[in-house]
Structure 1
């Protein structure tokens, strides 16, 4: 029998506190181990043309392989702890039932979206929503012959060197998986247990995801020389990253709530990390004879995204309800 609660088992303030705890656990794990912490030269260094300064001996930067390895271990442990906390919260409400552990485990797996994947077209559609939005950049890549198996694409350079490096494993594998589990699955699970509405979960939950990226400002400030200009750059980049990751979080929260699966948010995260930020102005300068076509494909991507977002994600029954707490079934 599934777990049934007649009223929210936790309060909204408790959900807020747990969300902060999840973010603190994830980000804090990067600084507990000496091997995972960054170290920089403790003095100002002038840089030219807004470029990062050279890396000096005995410094530890975030792209160093040993730092990446240590941080990957740290976030895996942090992610496990966050999932364990969700399990513990649910377990505390099950009580001393004979099948309490199995019931809680089954409930936790469902709440975190770790459902068995169905290999059919209906399950594929949610993974295609985000690529539709990127029709413009994908078309520009096609014009530049940079898509897979085109002239300027190579398996060694675009797959092996990119995805099998330590930076690639971090950016395209471990970061999307662990961040989506913590900042999407765990955060949404506790907000749902508090009785929060669907809209509130979509627009409130991702704030912790955006704030969790602010710590990169310290890295930017040091790599650009610890000057006033470096501080300004760090501030602007952090504000932009906060806005971008929060907006992206809205999208992934919607995907998770609609599908009740963690896999579409993870694939969206991986895809966006691979594509990076679109640069329309550069693409228009690079392909001046296709300006109208590029703009059209950008517009088509936005229209297609809006059109497909709802029908291509119509699969979740666990979270997507008009009244999330008439009686909640786990």
Structure 2
């Protein structure tokens, strides 16, 4: 892999990332609509906007991407769209992330929530809901394509992969700050809306770093997409609910929280080895 270029040239490569983030978020607000963000009509209109942004993103990347990269690899491969190593990319990152969520998963088990997942009616009813489609299909696909595949492809030539993993999530976290405006419109005090947005910025940035790491290590877009959908389903761990559990169940769940974090740290590098996913992109071995 080529050595990082000058800091000035590198800083310029972040400009297209910033503009792409602005384009993604602003597309949500081009419609004149007084309905809340969870209203079906609002969701459907935003789907159309995001589809347009996602469609033009590859052309946008091909214009701004470093030409040397395209001489060595195809654009689609750089964007994580390839067949080689697809099955491991579907399975292993998802298992790895489930290990990290071992604590919340154990809490769902003790609450009996697991039984619902084996009910076909549960999935059939939710898959008809626009909010479900947004949270588990459209958002993971479009956000990971835009904020991971496209943005990382634009800056990976001028910086080391670790820096890219840490910087790109800032755009992803900042893109969620627009929710503050929506909360204020719903009557939430601006101080509470600000605190909520700052918290959301923090954990979405952390997730973004993890997702970027998976993308660069596996070389597959499907890996962060599935992990994103899984994390949307699990949500941020509800530590307060531990106090409402039976003493034995609470102790077991607390142990699972600690064990999951430990195992995830131990398995992270081994389960994302590039050779497992037939990832021969030059930066995969540098992270």
TM-score normalized by structure 2? Answer: 0.89
Distance of aligned partners of 1:280 and 1:117 in 2 relative to their CA distance in 1, 3 Å threshold: farther
Distance of aligned partners of 1:277 and 1:77 in 2 relative to their CA distance in 1, 3 Å threshold: same
Residue from 204, 207, 219 that aligns with 2:182: 219
Cα deviation 1:145-165 (Å, max 9, x = unaligned)? 111xx26863323x1232331
For structure 1, the residue ranges without an aligned partner over 5 or more in a row are: 40-59, 95-102, 325-330
CA distance in 1, matches of 2:217, 2:248: 41
The reply to whether residue 88 of structure 1 matches residue 55 of structure 2 is no
Match of 2:77?
A: 110
CA distance in 2, matches of 1:122, 1:67: 33
| Contact kept? 2:172, 2:204, Cα under 8 Å | yes
CA distance in 1, matches of 2:139, 2:116: 30
Q: How many residues align?
A: 280
| Contact kept? 2:90, 2:223, Cα under 8 Å | no
Match of 1:317?
A: 280
| Contact kept? 1:213, 1:241, Cα under 8 Å | yes
Relative to its length, the structure with more helix (as a share) is 2
Match of 1:55?
A: none
The reply to whether residue 210 of structure 1 matches residue 170 of structure 2 is no
Match of 1:174?
A: 138
Deviation at 1:281, TM superposition (A): 2.5
Distance of aligned partners of 1:233 and 1:203 in 2 relative to their CA distance in 1, 3 Å threshold: same
Deviation at 1:168, TM superposition (A): 0.5
Distance of aligned partners of 1:120 and 1:209 in 2 relative to their CA distance in 1, 3 Å threshold: closer
For structure 2, the residue ranges without an aligned partner over 5 or more in a row are: none
Residue from 68, 71, 76 that aligns with 2:46: 71
Q: 1:58-207 maps to which residues of 2 (within 5 A)?
A: 60-90=35-65, 93=67, 107-116=74-83, 118=85, 120-121=87-88, 124-147=91-114, 150=115, 154-157=119-122, 159-193=123-157, 195-207=158-170
CA distance in 2, matches of 1:183, 1:74: 16
TM-score normalized by structure 1? Answer: 0.78
The root-mean-square deviation of aligned C-alpha atoms, in Å, is: 2.5
